[in-house]
Structure 1
Amino acid sequence: MAGDALLAGIVLLGASVQWLTGMGFALVAVPALVLLLGPVEGVSLANCAAGAICLVGLVGGWRYVRPAAMVPLCVAAACTVPAGTWLTRRLPEPWLLLSMGGLVTAAVLLVLRGARVPALRGRRGAVVAGAAGGFMNSAAGVGGPPVSLYALNAGWTVREFVPNAMFYGVVVNAFSVASNGVPELGGAQWALVVGAMAAGGLIGRGLASRIPEKRARLLVLLLALTGGVTAVGKGLWGM
């Protein structure tokens, strides 16, 4: 019972920050889901939930999707998703926790720094970001940071970034679910997850007009950094 309540709380928090800032479900929720459910089930659930949230969020912004950038991003992601799944299925759990926590931590630090990377510009940059995002999404549930860095280097505004990130999230999570499978949760747990996602959406939308965007994004990244470091610590402890 306590585990189910904790599961609902993690999904609620992740969904809230996703609707509040347009990003962050996986960054915030994955480290905690991995610690609660294990690496394979935690990543699979994150793929399902993040994909569903992106699909709902895309409804009002699909007209702003940039096909010229999204096609190479999504095709590259589709090519690397199986490699992430392969890695997740073969590494021992302590190594998985260490790898996932390390990926989250490194990605957050790069985004916090606003890293400018010449390789993440133009069509080549889209392919590099998409490939990295696909691998990270299926292996660790966090495929968004490479796309964030690509958008930063491409000079996109927040209004341009959000619908394109949502579109990418739908596609890459669909591939990841097809590769990783659906998590083995009971009917009551699925009901809790869906309810938490809906409640998180309402909370996030309600807070969006009250919390400055920069402060909200910083909070998301700090939460994600804490989760990533915790996962690294547990991985090291288990080795």
Structure 2
Amino acid sequence: MTEQVAVAAVALGAFAQAATGMGFSLVAAPALIAAFGPHRGVPMVLVLAVLASLLPLSRDWRHARPRDAGRLLVPAVLGTPVAAWLLGAMDTRLLAVAAGCGVLVGVALLARGVRSSFLSSPAGAWLAGLGSAGLNVIGGVGGPPIGLYAANADWPARETRATLHAFFLVQNLVTAAVLGFVLPSWPAVAALVGGAVTGVALAPRLPARAARLGVLTVSCVGGLTLMGSALTT
């Protein structure tokens, strides 16, 4: 039954990823880790997340913002092996709770319309990229810092989705290469394809305001998930 729940979570996460540009790992990671354990579950999440970004990006790649994606990828890629080394022998529960609190505070501020020029600066991109690298190593959920950065940047909805797909595709490949690859089951892959196809079909009908709300909502869920998983283990 746990694996069936994980397969359903993969489908829902793939839909969220295709529709908003992020959300696969935030939705699917808790179920996959519960079903397969952290040592197999996290690498499996990363491999599936690559596919979840690849499918919608194959259609929307022309709308990606390469410079903005690269600005976030440089610190994320450089920070991934460092995070794996620093966090490998640590109890990451306290870090996950602190990170979840930070994400929730950021979401609340952005939802209230608070703007931050820092988040749009090179230093803000480095902070978002490094934070995403650490969260991806901890639990395969590197989305919230990047989602907050994108929500603050006010990119058009289609460009937001394409740029986030490009970022997460590369980031998850790098993180999987550092942590190791675990091949997912065929039912999980089939569920991912079904969810992604549905999300791609509905994404063009999603207004910019709804897309921004979706990114913030998924980021909020991610923050709560980080805290909940840490407090219950």
TM-score (norm 2): 0.81
Does 1:167 pair with 2:166? yes
- 1:35 matched to 2:34? The reply is yes
Which moved further from structure 2: 166-175 or 15-24?
15-24
Equivalent residue, structure 1, for 2:199: 204
Shift of 1:58: 1.3
Residues 1:127 and 2:123 aligned together: no
Identity of aligned residues (%): 31
1:17/1:23 contact within 8 Å kept: yes
Alpha-carbon distance, 1:201 to partner:
1.9
Structure 1 residue 104, shift from structure 2 partner: 4.3
Gap runs ≥5 in structure 2: none
Matched residues in 2 for 1:62 and 1:126: separation? 21
Distance in 1, matches of 2:98 and 2:53, equals 25
Report Cα offsets for 1:78-118 as digits up to 9, x if no partner: 11101332355323xxx445544553454245234316444
- 1:102–1:232 CA contact under 8 A, matched in 2: no
State the partner residue of 2:187: 192
Name the amino acid aligned to 1:138: V
Q: Is the 8 A contact 2:100 2:224 kept in 1?
A: no
Q: 1:228 aligns with which of 218, 226, 230?
A: 226
Distance 1:104 1:11, change over 3 A: farther
Q: How does 1:103-182 map to 2 (within 5 A)?
A: 103-104=99-100, 106-114=102-110, 116-182=115-181
Q: Deviations for 1:41-90, whole angstroms, at most 9, x for unmatched residues?
A: 22212211111111222122222222322223212111110133235532
Distance 2:131 2:175 in 1: 13
Aligned residues: 227
Is the CA contact 2:20–2:203 (under 8 Å) kept in the aligned structure 1? yes
- Aligned partners of 1:166, 1:97: CA distance in 2, in Å? 28
Shift in CA distance, 66/210, structure 1 to aligned 2, threshold 3 Å: closer
Which residue is 2:65 aligned to? 66
3-state SS of the aligned residue for 2:118?
helix
Call closer, same or farther: CA 1:87–1:42 in 2, change over 3 Å. farther
Q: What runs of 5+ residues in structure 1 fail to find an aligned partner?
A: none
Give 1:147 deviation, angstroms: 1.8
For 1:153, give the aligned amino acid.
N
Aligned-partner Cα distance in 1 for 2:215–2:72: 23
Q: 1:101 to 1:200 in 2, by over 3 A?
A: farther
Q: Note closer, same or farther for the CA distance 1:181–1:27 as it changes in structure 2 (3 Å cut).
A: same
Post-superposition shift, 1:194? 0.6
